[in-house]
Amino acid sequence: MNFVYSVRTPGGKLVYQYLKKPKKIPRCGQCKDKLRGIQPARPMERSRMCRRKKTVKRVYGGVLCHKCVKERYVFNILNCSYFKYLFNKHQLYVLHI
């Protein structure tokens, strides 16, 4: 909903000026936390912005926050069968010493 307010011009006329809708701060897709480093903008403004203002140079930049990306990496590494194998082998080696 666009709001209107009246302003007196230097010529003495009263005219309406339209307020733009507020800009939304982009949020993380997983935890809904605010994304840092991305400029808030309306969709049409965002389409005209340069790429560096719309994204962060990181995996999932502009979609997930840094905490969720780190969590996803750690989860994937711990779930990888090869790393599980190495971890268990290391545990057994430590137990025998």
Global pTM value? 0.62
Residue ranges of domains in the chain: 23-96
Q: What are phi and psi of 34, to 5 degrees?
A: -65, 140
| Rounded distance between C-alpha atoms, residue 51 and residue 97, angstroms | 55
Q: Say if CB 68 and CB 31 are below 8 A apart.
A: yes
92: pLDDT strictly greater than 70 = no
pLDDT tens digits along 46-83 = 999 999 999 999 889 999 999 999 988 888 777 776 77
26: pLDDT strictly greater than 60 = yes
